[in-house]
Chains A and B, each alone.
With several copies, the nearest count.
Chain A
């Protein structure tokens, strides 16, 4: 059976060159980078090289501004709790948006329970944050604004530079979750002006289980876990050495091959146009200001999980914001925040392209999906078949 993977926002395969680079670090270069002997030192040097590559990938000024973590989730948590811990005497107000990843949103909400105040900036129907609202929300005791660079579900890219402009006037730190943007659009911490930024290796053809938090030099942050002196005590624990090495390589490659996303965007547009030809299908997210690989549509009268299972039977791997797939009782908080009804959000389909997605893959989708939609709609009590 043909298998078409269109869930690159969930995770990506490891690039062959990345794996190649990692391999010696399992059986041969296995030393603990904290050790002072040769076995350790030779590894410590390679970790530093990987740190430099990641730093360069996001145009950080100093490699020491990169702190490796176990993934995007941990980096988000570290940014939020770490800044809150460092600045809690300065203020206890944090601003985020309604469409953040749960790694940000739930972390912020847990601080709220501990006595912090939280303001969530709303979004418009395209998923763009309300900058005017943000401007009015900043207070004297605001210590952090955390707004994602682009949304993982609907692909809308946020105006982070504008966020930074608003924040800088009041001397407030800005963190952005760039997990979905790095490797897909330029991510440049100087250009963006953010103080903290999250990235994750497995979204850029690197290994799962490693991510990084960029912390601009001079930014006040405290570690949130305890142990050895690794990552300058901000993130203790024996380093995931092969993971970090792979991350360095993946960061370098994804920046070097950023050109490929142009073709991705062309295929994305073809897929969007094709899907919109189906009756009662609507695009979610901004039409142009969107990740080059992201397609997200709502297909009325049918439910996401049933759609995914049907696609899966035809070899197409996709994702949905349906409640039935989320384990929670409500469909995607992102789609609801954008004003979709429960039912419409329920019937959402996300197809995310990768660097190896072909025209053939897209054509296959455009052949299969209308057929499946038709079949499921015939079963639906909401729509006369």
Chain B
């Protein structure tokens, strides 16, 4: 069963969508279930100014996507890189055991987006 926090993020997902001409884009697929998540970044002075996500996946996948974008927004890239799947799950008040793998999508997509930004900017 999902926590109230998971359901809140599912019901009112933060930062849904796409950023045109994003500074960084990260996409991951969940090998386990075939779900997909994409994260878009707008970075200024090393700080995540804007962040958006698109997710094809279960309730937990959508909620963790939403949560991770909320957690990353306003952070420096290095701070954001420290966000782990576990932290996202904790932020949501936990996930059912069968759904722990879903939380992997979120932090991984964020990481990829940051890496993409760094690569583009030769950092």
Chain A residues close to B by CB (< 8 Å): 41, 44-45, 301-306, 309, 313, 322-325, 327, 329, 331, 342-343, 346, 378-382, 385
Contacts and interface: CB of A to CB of B under 8 A. Distances in A.
A323 B34 contact: yes
- Chain A contact surface mostly: helix
Given A305-B58, A324-B59, 6 more contacts: A303-B35, A303-B56, A303-B61, A309-B2, A324-B57, A379-B53
Interface stretch (B9-17, B70-78, B80-88, B114-122): B9-17
A32 B47 CA distance: 48
Given A343-B34, A381-B38, A322 B13 contact: no
Interface in B10-68: 10-11, 13, 16-17, 27, 32-38, 53-62
B56 A380 contact: yes
Contacts of A323: 32-34
A309 B7 CA distance: 9
A328 to B, nearest CB: 9
Contacts of A379: 13, 16-17, 53-55, 62
A382 B36 contact: yes
Contacts of A301: 56
Contact of A324 (B1, B2, B7, B33): B33
B54 A380 contact: yes
B98 interface: yes
A37 to B, nearest CB: 12
Top 10 nearest A-B pairs (CB, nearest first) are: A324-B58, A381-B54, A305-B58, A381-B38, A323-B33, A309-B59, A342-B34, A380-B56, A379-B16, A382-B56
Given A306-B59, A378-B16, A382-B56, A329 B10 contact: no
15 contacts: A301-B56, A304-B58, A306-B57, A306-B61, A306-B62, A324-B58, A324-B102, A327-B98, A331-B34, A343-B34, A343-B56, A379-B55, A380-B55, A381-B27, A385-B17
B1 A41 contact: yes
Given A313-B11, A323-B33, A329-B33, A302 B58 contact: no
Nearest to B34: A342
Interface string B98-115: 100010000000000000
